[in-house]
Structure 1
Amino acid sequence: MDYSEEEISREFKKLTGQDVETVLSLAGKDTSPTSPTHIRYALHLAIILANSIGAPKGAVLQTSQQGGKEGGISKNAVTDVGTGAEVSTHVQDSAMEARLKKMEQQLSVSTQSQRKDKVEEALRNGSVVFPVPWTPMVITGASCCPLTNIAYSCNFPGALLSRLESPQSVIRMPATVHSRLAELERSVDSTPYNQKKSALERELLAFFDISVCNIRRISPEDICHFLIKKDGKGKTRIHSVNCPYLGRVGPSECECPSRLSAGTVQSLVGQLKSIFKVRGLGVEWDEGLCSGNPASSLRVQKYVKAIQQEQAKSHVKVSQAKPLFFGKLTKVFSHIDDLLSKVSENPAERFVLLRDQAFFKLQFFSGDRAGDLAKCLTQEIHQFEDGAGLLFGHTVGKTLNNGKVNEFTVMRMDNRSVCPVTGLEKYISGANSVGIDLRYGYLFRPLDRTRKLVLEEAVSTSSMYNRLKSYLKDMGIDEGETTHSIRGGSAVTMAVSGYGDAGDIMSHVGWSCEQSLERYTRFGKVLQRGTVSKKFRNVAEAP
């Protein structure tokens, strides 16, 4: 007779007093309707266990015969037999109950023993990794291996772990290996972008008051709340349509709110995407499962789009560094020369002034990015045989990687007050006079906080930015220029000078696409401005 799963479950409960699903769960077996084999298997094991124990030994009790004939039947025989049957049934029920309890105890003890053995096995394999120094690689290989095998042996549904072979021996890496890995990690983490991203991650966790372990709890809506909090620290004025300052550039006296620019918001979202990707949340956001990278969700994209539309209605224009042209930069050079004549007795101030004039001259005539120039090594500079100029070869920079090199030359000029080669020679000789050897290592170096020691590291872009702003403010000619303005002024000067075409300018500065050329030189605005208007004027003035 073929029983259904429901009938088998009912008979199993009558026999053992337990639900078959509970027993299978304790045994680590699948209890879903798609696995009826496990239910039949449980009943089969119960029958085998019952047969191994066997029926209880004994005999049916009968009333003793007194005063009757041999072989005769007592007058109370029928009553005695009935009483004996009742007692026999009661005894059988008690024995069956005892057997079932014993079966439950054996099953429970067996299950607990198996779990304990598996845990002890995992601990034995993992205990070898605890002696100092701690080796994460050994923990992963040793302790995860038995747990993975257990998942497979129990037919764990949906197990995604890979089967690992038990390590025969523990591999301990020498200290030099760990030191090398730490050094490489520091070099990557020390980049400006990674430092900015790390600071943003700390701010994000502090905003939600959670640890990095709970970063998966952050939703797309939470990302929008965080961006709104950051939005309050922006400097871009969002004027209403009725504001008299709408469309004006510069400071205003209205009460319109200040927000982050749309470009800054996009940059923050990009950093957040990278943060969640590094934490193992992938690149995309699954709207159906509500899992993945929350910064890539449609909700966050909609927020960024709303910011862009709001600022477009407010006539907010994409800001670009104001070019710092040669005429104004010449005044800065003259101002530094005046300061040098006053600090001849102060070696620290003299070193800084010599460094600044060489840096700004070299940046203008090379068109190099300030951050790349700050990382320049003396070994990267080669002088022409006749001393007519210098050849630079950058291998480290914002867009330099995979062996890419940015090579450019600067030539010696008759006007020594602005000549970059003369300014660099002046800086190196001046540094040597105060005991600073610049033959090797970083060319442009900073002072420590005491201003008594020159550090053997690259000067930061922010330091050069502050130095330029201080010179402009001292002379009262600051109009918002930055070190990036020097590069913009150099690009525009090269474009309008007529010395070389677009390809020559791109090769000298190190641009790889025409979009960068157009952005910095404003070819369409500077060189072709008024072309259509002039043609229309000629048409109107034609006879």
Structure 2
Amino acid sequence: MIRNEQLQAIITPKQATPLFSCTIDQLIISMNSEAVAVTSSRDWILLFLILGDNAMILMDLYALKRPTELGATRVEGIIRFPDDSGFLFNYLWGKTLRSGDEHVFGIRRLSDKSKCPISALEDYLLLMKILKLNIARGILFRPVRLGMIQNSPINRGQMNSNPKYWLQKVGLFNGETFFSIRTAGAIELFLEGSDLQQVMGQAYLKTERIARHYMKVWQVLGMLSSGEVENISTKNDLELNAAQAFVRVFV
């Protein structure tokens, strides 16, 4: 069976340490417990930060955005589906405004509210409304400076400190950043059966060379002992076959 520790080891120099969904599940449990405690103490600014972190991490788990793009998400770029089944997001994609392309994508509501990015965003927006913040226009994920909530993008350093704080809290920090969610998401999509073009579309990776850099899937194969390979379940047997197919494409 491909274990989380083996997946976590898929790193090379200059590549973000992957932050897989099984680890994010542990972070969300820690965040939810913290949110309950903070609500009792009525520390609304701290609750704002926790709910914002929760929503950002869960949203990026499904959207696979760059940290700077996620931090610059604007409220007016979000549209609720008519049947209330999710949100539609409209981004100007690109590292610079001049190279920007429109990027529209949707995120569906999940039945498990604790892991649902839509539910997390709704909780966060409700608190923003309670705090009398403008939720009609402006930046969605807002930083706090000197105890005041700012209507400005969260910078890259702050974005990366968010998962670091929660990973350290549960004793799992291994150098991960917000970029790690995108790296792991691309790998997980492929192992779950998505083809290369589907992964590139979801993670908005424009070339196969970039996708190859993100998805070092074949390295998982070298981390499996013969005994582990023999004990692979049906699901993981399919994952191993997918990884082997990936090797044939890129090696």
Q: TM class, shorter-chain normalised?
A: 0.7 to 0.9
2:143–2:150 CA contact under 8 A, matched in 1:
yes
Give 1:412 shift. Answer: 0.8
2:31–2:54 CA contact under 8 A, matched in 1:
yes
1:394–1:407 CA contact under 8 A, matched in 2:
yes
Structure 2 CA distance for aligned equivalents of residues 492 and 399 of structure 1: 26
Identity of aligned residues (%): 25
Residue in 2 that maps onto 1:466: 161
Residue in 2 that maps onto 1:412: 109
Structure 2 CA distance for aligned equivalents of residues 389 and 516 of structure 1: 29
Instruction: Indicate the SS of the match to 1:392.
Output: strand
2:217–2:246 CA contact under 8 A, matched in 1:
no
Amino acid at match of 1:366: A
Structure 2 CA distance for aligned equivalents of residues 503 and 432 of structure 1: 40
Q: 1:491 aligns with which of 182, 186, 190?
A: 186
TM-score by length of 1: 0.38
Amino acid at match of 2:205: W
2:55–2:120 CA contact under 8 A, matched in 1:
yes
Give 1:458 shift. Answer: 0.9
Structure 1 residues 410-439: Cα deviation after superposition (integer angstroms, max 9, x where no partner) = 111111111111111111001211222222
Residue in 1 that maps onto 2:244: 528
Amino acid at match of 2:244: Q
User: Is 1:503–2:192 an aligned residue pair?
Assistant: no
Structure 2 CA distance for aligned equivalents of residues 409 and 473 of structure 1: 31
Count of aligned positions: 213
Evaluate the alpha carbon distance shift between residue 525 and residue 400 of structure 1 in structure 2; reply closer, same or farther with a 3 A threshold.
farther
Q: 1:376 aligns with which of 49, 73, 97?
A: 73
Structure 2 CA distance for aligned equivalents of residues 360 and 530 of structure 1: 28
Moved over 3 A (4+): 399-403, 523-526, 529-532
Evaluate the alpha carbon distance shift between residue 524 and residue 386 of structure 1 in structure 2; reply closer, same or farther with a 3 A threshold.
same
Structure 2 CA distance for aligned equivalents of residues 426 and 530 of structure 1: 39
2:218–2:246 CA contact under 8 A, matched in 1:
no
- Structure 2 residue runs of 5 or longer lacking an equivalent are 1-11, 221-242
Residue in 1 that maps onto 2:132: 435
Evaluate the alpha carbon distance shift between residue 531 and residue 486 of structure 1 in structure 2; reply closer, same or farther with a 3 A threshold.
closer
Evaluate the alpha carbon distance shift between residue 493 and residue 362 of structure 1 in structure 2; reply closer, same or farther with a 3 A threshold.
same
Instruction: Indicate the SS of the match to 1:395.
Output: strand
Residue in 2 that maps onto 1:335: 30
Structure 1 residues 37-83: Cα deviation after superposition (integer angstroms, max 9, x where no partner) = xxxxxxxxxxxxxxxxxxxxxxxxxxxxxxxxxxxxxxxxxxxxxxx
Structure 1 CA distance for aligned equivalents of residues 93 and 202 of structure 2: 17
Instruction: Indicate the SS of the match to 1:504.
Output: helix
Instruction: Indicate the SS of the match to 1:459.
Output: coil
Amino acid at match of 1:439: A
Structure 1 CA distance for aligned equivalents of residues 32 and 246 of structure 2: 41
TM-score by length of 2: 0.79
| Higher relative contact order (CA closer than 8 Å, sequence separation 6+) | 2
Residue in 2 that maps onto 1:305: none
Structure 2 CA distance for aligned equivalents of residues 342 and 362 of structure 1: 23
Evaluate the alpha carbon distance shift between residue 355 and residue 530 of structure 1 in structure 2; reply closer, same or farther with a 3 A threshold.
closer
Structure 2 CA distance for aligned equivalents of residues 323 and 400 of structure 1: 28
User: Is 1:357–2:71 an aligned residue pair?
Assistant: no
Instruction: Indicate the SS of the match to 2:145.
Output: coil
Residue in 2 that maps onto 1:519: 213
1:358–1:424 CA contact under 8 A, matched in 2:
yes
* Residue pairs, 1:91-106, within 5 angstroms: none
Residue in 2 that maps onto 1:321: 16
Structure 1 residues 128-152: Cα deviation after superposition (integer angstroms, max 9, x where no partner) = xxxxxxxxxxxxxxxxxxxxxxxxx
Give 1:379 shift. Answer: 1.0
Structure 1 residues 442-466: Cα deviation after superposition (integer angstroms, max 9, x where no partner) = 11111122x1x21111111211211
Instruction: Indicate the SS of the match to 1:328.
Output: helix
Larger Rg over CA atoms: 1
Instruction: Indicate the SS of the match to 1:342.
Output: helix
Amino acid at match of 1:497: E
Structure 2 CA distance for aligned equivalents of residues 396 and 319 of structure 1: 23
Structure 2 CA distance for aligned equivalents of residues 414 and 485 of structure 1: 25
Amino acid at match of 1:335: S
Structure 1 residues 87-132: Cα deviation after superposition (integer angstroms, max 9, x where no partner) = xxxxxxxxxxxxxxxxxxxxxxxxxxxxxxxxxxxxxxxxxxxxxx
Residue in 1 that maps onto 2:3: none
Greater strand proportion: 2
1:379–1:439 CA contact under 8 A, matched in 2:
yes
